[in-house]
Structure 1
């Protein structure tokens, strides 16, 4: 029974726990990681740069999305790099803090689960930031950083498909949909864990849900293609 639980949560005996953690302490740890990760996720690079540096909220332009693609289409320029770094670094920091937390309490067997848990809440913060009216981005940069932090094989599937589709079709949204859809399948392939795959499905599902408008436009054939040049106001 105990071995079955470990396999369900951790994905295999190679990195399983020696003993089940105290459920109350486990719940406290989960809440702490969730809170820290969520508020790190809320530090949306596109909003912060456009609203507080350019004094021109990106959500009032183009598609209204607080993400890299819309920021680049509206503003362009070197500040796009700041947006990229902000959204990538916050995901890395959230996961590193989660790893530090499980190490601090002496539960290294929960490391992989903690990474997925932190990644989920960081993505929720990015997409629904409480200090910005719960109107954030679509999570591709942060989600991509999360995939890299999980396992190189997962990152290869997610990023490889994203880059191939985005470069060949120039539809960033198509590559993004691949990233969201492939994440849980890649997770199952690597870890064979029901719990981790469910967390990965939540992360991937959030990305797909945030791209539901793009999916409709792709089907209708009127989705905007990515360009290195800034587009006119009102572009989607």
Structure 2
């Protein structure tokens, strides 16, 4: 593995793999701290997954509860993604050259998304990864974030379908990654992240095509208006 190095001449493959596993484990468990579930279940005593779409994400939380605690959900999902990416950067910097920091961002970002979507402490029922995924895109490269967030905002504002913007974000992430880095390893990780996001929105895509997808509103729905 040509990128393994150290001041003294190199590190072992075993140590490199151990550091990669440590980054993956740390990022996954950070991802498991789902803001919507934590706030609704332990502060509001009313699990968000029992309401609306059943998704443990920001949109469903806001539609169901609204209020200032929405900010806590946002901060939780943003900060955990930032922490996960920083862990990946630091550990991958030990493995190889400074260029490996980028691979570390993608590696940790992928496992952070897995933790967010399939949290082990919440019966593997989490969110769809847009807020955390968007944060990861910002941490990776501003050009990639511009493509991902730019398309998301344009589609979400024009159509009021947050899910459509989310699908764009997931689908565009690997293409933007390849355009910026031209690296196969990061492309594969970006494709994994994008595929996870799109797959999580497969139900939304079906409803969009059928014309039955709910449109976002800043007015919180009343209990009787929520989906069963």
Q: Assess if the C-alpha contact under 8 Å between 1:144 and 1:158 holds in 2.
A: yes
Note if 1:168 corresponds to 2:172: no
Aligned match of 2:204 in 205, 211, 214? 214
TM-superposition CA deviations, 1:15-45 (whole Å, max 9, x none): x979875321111011000000000000000
* RMSD, matched Cα: 1.9
> Which residue number in structure 2 is paired with residue 12 of structure 1?
none
Q: Assess if the C-alpha contact under 8 Å between 2:117 and 2:128 holds in 1.
A: yes
Give 1:106 deviation, angstroms: 6.0
TM-score by length of 2: 0.93
Give 1:107 deviation, angstroms: 4.3
Give 1:201 deviation, angstroms: 0.3
Q: Assess if the C-alpha contact under 8 Å between 2:5 and 2:95 holds in 1.
A: no
> Which residue number in structure 2 is paired with residue 10 of structure 1?
none
Q: Which fold has the larger relative contact order, with Cα–Cα distance below 8 Å and residues 6 or more apart in sequence?
A: 1
Q: For the residues of structure 1 that align with 2:33 and 2:126, how far apart are their CA atoms?
A: 10
Give 1:235 deviation, angstroms: 3.1
Q: For the residues of structure 1 that align with 2:121 and 2:112, how far apart are their CA atoms?
A: 14
- Partner SS for 1:108: coil
> Which residue number in structure 2 is paired with residue 11 of structure 1?
none
Q: For the residues of structure 1 that align with 2:25 and 2:83, how far apart are their CA atoms?
A: 13
> Which residue number in structure 1 is paired with residue 193 of structure 2?
203
Give 1:110 deviation, angstroms: 1.5
> Which residue number in structure 2 is paired with residue 46 of structure 1?
36
> Which residue number in structure 2 is paired with residue 97 of structure 1?
87
Q: Assess if the C-alpha contact under 8 Å between 1:98 and 1:115 holds in 2.
A: yes
TM-superposition CA deviations, 1:153-200 (whole Å, max 9, x none): 000000000000001110000000000000000000000011111100
TM-superposition CA deviations, 1:32-67 (whole Å, max 9, x none): 000000000000000000000000000011110000
> Which residue number in structure 2 is paired with residue 235 of structure 1?
227
> Which residue number in structure 2 is paired with residue 223 of structure 1?
213
- Structure 2: segments with no counterpart, 5+ residues: none
The total of aligned residue pairs comes to: 224
Q: Quick check: 223-232 or 128-137, which moved more?
A: 223-232
> Which residue number in structure 2 is paired with residue 151 of structure 1?
141
| Structure 1 residues 105 and 198: CA distance shift in structure 2, 3 A | closer
Q: For the residues of structure 2 that align with 1:158 and 1:91, how far apart are their CA atoms?
A: 16
